[in-house]
């Protein structure tokens, strides 16, 4: 029996259907997490799944599943930004899935430092190496802090919050999530009563600590290198910054370039298209899924299929 894990996979059915798993296929789950998609792919008859996660605890917790599906699941501790390097043969994968962001386990464990709801060390590292959120808030100059909050948190009060951080750390370094959350709440003139005032600040810092947007760009390029013609890439994102990167990547590298308007000549197609878009508009979860899993609320699924080297369908 597969153990019950606290992370509920978002749009699992839609993801697995989109990947069209089959017994001869090799699939890369670049964000293994609690093995939700991987388990569904294996149960659906996938020949081989390579499950990657940068969090060592996700890999550790997946050992039981690897034993259960021995010969069909390979676990890799690493980053999806170079997922193509996990393959024995280049361009041999039939599917790649990326389910962005953090898992419920990471969010819920106070000691990981992702949450403004639970007090813990100000950490936020998925992989437990490199600078932590505390290192960044205590050492980064005010202007850069404000820019991060603005760009990665879309935080309107970015400068005010950055100023408050710099004033607080002059007294003593910030080390706890609760300190930062309280400081942000105090610095905000007013805020939406439905959202904790520190939501955007925590999102921004998490993105910077884990270089999430850089990883996403590298992961999309690595998927292009990893997939064989006919192979599919499915990405589930949770905020507009991620979704924009996915949308633009597939649009710019797919056969369907935007049409010129009456006032503009059609764009000149210079490169051979690498992808065929499978989702013109993102797929979003239904009301029932959102009701049973609020984390699904902001999810957007986009997918594309790899073309042959001359831009044709496999
Ligand atoms: C949203 S959870 C995935 C949940 C999974 N789809 C499931 O159904 O259980 C995201 C996971 O991806 C991992 N992750 C995030 N960015 C990563 C990256 N660049 N490389 C590898 N793993 C990453 C996180 O550590 C986390 O475990």
Helix H or strand E segment including 277: strand 275-277
Average pLDDT taken over every residue of the chain = 94
| Pairs from 140-144 (Cβ < 8 Å, separation ≥ 24) | 142/166
pLDDT at 49 exceeding the cut of 80 = yes
Candidate from 9, 10, 33, 60 with most ligand 1 atoms within 8 A of CB, to mutate = 33
Closest ligand 1 atom to Cα of 36:
8
What local confidence, expressed as pLDDT, does residue 263 receive?
64
Q: What is the pLDDT of residues 181-194, one digit of tens each?
A: 999 999 998 878 88
pLDDT at 266 exceeding the cut of 80 = no
Q: Which fold has domain 128-209?
A: DNA polymerase; domain 1 (1.10.150)
What band does 128 get if pLDDT is binned at 50, 70 and 90? confident
Arithmetic mean of pLDDT, 226-246:
98
Residue 52, ligand 1, Cβ within 6 A = yes
Class of CATH domain 12-104+212-306: alpha beta
pLDDT at 278 exceeding the cut of 80 = yes
Distance 160 CA to ligand 1 centre (A): 32
Cβ atoms of 47 and 22 within 8 Å: the answer is: yes
Residue 53, ligand 1, Cβ within 6 A = yes
What local confidence, expressed as pLDDT, does residue 265 receive?
57
Domain segments of the chain as ranges: 12-104+212-306, 128-209
Helix H or strand E segment including 218: helix 212-226
Distance 31 CA to ligand 1 centre (A): 3
Cβ atoms of 227 and 50 within 8 Å: the answer is: no
What burial letters (b/e) apply to 99-131, b meaning 16+ CB within 10 Å?
Answer: bbbbbebbbebbebbbbbebebebbbbbeeeee
Distance 103 CA to ligand 1 centre (A): 6
Closest ligand 1 atom to Cα of 12:
8
Instruction: Give the start-end residues of each E strand in 48-120.
Output: 48-53, 73-77, 93-99
Residue 36, ligand 1, Cβ within 6 A = yes
Q: What is the pLDDT of residues 59-102, one digit of tens each?
A: 999 999 999 999 999 999 999 999 999 999 999 999 999 999 99
Residue 61, ligand 1, Cβ within 6 A = no
């Amino acid at each position: 029996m597969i153990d019950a894990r606290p992370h509920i996979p978002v749009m699992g059915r839609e993801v697995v259907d989109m990947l069209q798993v089959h017994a001869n296929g090799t699939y890369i789950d670049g964000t293994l997490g609690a093995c939700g998609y991987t388990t569904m792919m294996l149960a659906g008859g996938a020949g081989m799944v390579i499950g990657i996660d940068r969090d060592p605890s996700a890999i550790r917790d997946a050992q039981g599943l690897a034993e259960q599906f021995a010969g069909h699941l390979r676990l890799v501790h690493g980053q999806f930004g170079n997922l193509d390097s996990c393959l024995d043969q280049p361009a041999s994968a039939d599917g790649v899935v990326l389910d962005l962001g953090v898992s419920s386990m990471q969010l819920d464990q106070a000691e990981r430092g992702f949450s403004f709801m639970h007090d813990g060390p100000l950490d936020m590292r998925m992989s437990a190496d490199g600078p932590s959120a505390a290192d960044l808030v205590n050492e980064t100059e005010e202007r850069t802090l404000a820019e991060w909050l603005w760009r990665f948190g879309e935080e309107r009060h970015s400068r005010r919050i950055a100023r408050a951080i710099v004033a607080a750390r002059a007294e003593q370094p910030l080390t706890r999530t609760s300190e930062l959350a309280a400081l942000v709440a105090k610095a905000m003139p007013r805020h939406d009563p439905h959202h904790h005032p520190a939501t955007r600040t925590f999102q921004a810092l998490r993105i910077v600590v884990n270089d999430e947007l850089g990883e996403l760009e590298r992961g999309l390029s690595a998927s292009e290198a990893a997939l064989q013609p006919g192979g599919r890439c499915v990405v589930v994102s949770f905020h507009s910054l991620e979704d924009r990167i996915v949308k633009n990547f597939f649009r710019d590298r797919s056969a369907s370039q935007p049409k010129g308007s009456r006032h503009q000549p059609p764009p000149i197609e210079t490169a051979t298209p690498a992808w065929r878009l499978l989702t013109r508009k993102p797929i979003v979860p239904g009301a029932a899924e959102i009701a049973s899993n609020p984390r699904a609320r902001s999810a957007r699924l986009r997918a594309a299929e790899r073309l042959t080297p001359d831009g044709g369908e496999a």
